[in-house]
Amino acid sequence: MRKILFTLFLGLIGWSAIAQTTINRNPAIEKLVLEVSADSLKKYIYDLSAFNTRHTLSTDEKNGMPSSQRYVLSKFNIFAKASNGRMTAEIEEFVIPADGRRITSDSKVANVIATLKGTNPADNRIFIVSGHLDSRNKDVMDSTGGAPGANDDGSGVAAVIELARVMAKMEFSATILFVAFTGEEQGLKGATYLADKAKSEGWNIAGVLNNDIVGNSNSSETNISDNTKLRVFSETIPLAEDEQQAALRRSTNADNDSKSRQLARYIKEVGELYVDQMEIKLIYRSDRFLRGGDQTPFFRNGFTAVRMSEMNENFYHQHENVRVENGIQYGDLPEFMDFEYLRKVSAVNLAAAASLANSAGMPEEVKIDVRGLSNKSILLWKAPSIGKAKGYYVLMRETSSPMWEKKFFTTETTLTLPYSKDNYFFAVQSVTETGEESLAVFPVPISR
């Protein structure tokens, strides 16, 4: 009996040591997170789904896509008043050429974008929070029939609008774009336009948080009701990887350490830190099985991006015409949404975007020294050229672990750890005085 009790006691000590997680929030970000409102989100969703359709090719000026774009712009312009001139908004028009698929003739379309300019002129980073404004019904070419698109992707756009509202009055080092894309359902047209433009103009896009289908918490068929989980999709093998990068990835076994995956881990860490009753699930896919989204054109151009989607999708309310059949209500209607869930998803976005936009840049030239056989691991790096780091975390995890498990703080730009690089993965991130962390950088080996 005594032995059993003793074992139980040891077990409890072990359990409590592992179970402790330090909650150390930056009060400024916590305050913003608390301002995200389920009522505001609900209002945007009802407004957006009241337009007859937001189909990409809809030209109905009164009740179609152009009017919904003016609605989003008007919201951005109202919030911009609180930004002291830092937020500007526009409907950016462009022409998508006929593609013989979902675009039958050259079409004038538009993204709606609010830009919150960063306060540090030396910080050229741009972070993007996005959703797609276009909606569809069963027939993807039907540009006049009803398509309320409350959840797909009214939810993502509502999150974007709410973040613009809350963040406009706060100052950030980096620039943040709030984007309502067009043309997602017609082949990722709006996101492709912006990602290609950013690439050709050399923008420093440091992270894209794309939100698509983020406002429902009840699954069709399996009838799972759960508003405590959010999926973050990130690419495993980078779409833009060249032969040299592929060779480096294979030699360092960095298959689970793409820039996109580091962003997903970051969102899990920061999102769960600031948002209660929310568990973030890393999905090791660039999107749902055989699907794609507006993050894809950013992957294609080598940018760091993720897609966020609700955990339990309801296919009665996606890409369906509004109708009742066999007693089931079909159609993407707002009454099937969970606004408290959407509030939490928006709050996760806000916590991540605010932390990133006020972080210092990533440490540069991050290397792991493999010049001699050793059971120690030596990491070295250079200070970021953007912002001011108070210090750095060297992150460590077992090779079989999805998340970083240990963080070693240092104010130096090198650290030697008595753990073998054969048995662990490492990365380095910068951290500011107020605790904002940069994305983690996976080291490149120096062999001589």
Q: Which residues bind Zn ion (CB under 5 A)?
A: 152-153, 212
Shortest reach from residue 213's CB to Zn ion, in Å = 6
Shortest reach from residue 96's CB to Zn ion, in Å = 17
CA gap 35, 48 in Å, rounded: 21
CB atoms within 10 A of CB 102: 17
Shortest reach from residue 152's CB to Zn ion, in Å = 4
Under 8 Å between Cβ of 113 and 126: no
Shortest reach from residue 146's CB to Zn ion, in Å = 17
**Cβ nearer to Zn ion, comparing 152 with 313:** 152
**Cβ nearer to Zn ion, comparing 133 with 270:** 133
Under 8 Å between Cβ of 293 and 188: yes
**Cβ nearer to Zn ion, comparing 309 with 429:** 309
Shortest reach from residue 233's CB to Zn ion, in Å = 13
- Look at strands 87-96 and 107-116 and give their pairing: antiparallel
Under 8 Å between Cβ of 304 and 263: yes
**Cβ nearer to Zn ion, comparing 190 with 443:** 190
Could you tell me which residues come within 8 angstroms of residue 97 by beta carbon, excluding any fewer than 6 positions away?
Answer: 103, 106
Sign (positive/negative) of CA torsion 165, 168, 174, 176?
Answer: positive
CA angle 138, 144, 145 (to 5 degrees): 45
Shortest reach from residue 85's CB to Zn ion, in Å = 33
- DSSP string over 112-161: EEEEE--S-TT--EEEEEEEE-----SSTT-SSS-B--TTTTHHHHHHHH
Tell me which residue of 307, 337, 320, 344 sits closest to 137, measured CA to CA. Answer: 320
**Cβ nearer to Zn ion, comparing 153 with 272:** 153
**Cβ nearer to Zn ion, comparing 123 with 152:** 152
**Cβ nearer to Zn ion, comparing 139 with 398:** 139
Shortest reach from residue 191's CB to Zn ion, in Å = 11
Q: Give the containing element (helix H, strand E) for 58.
A: none
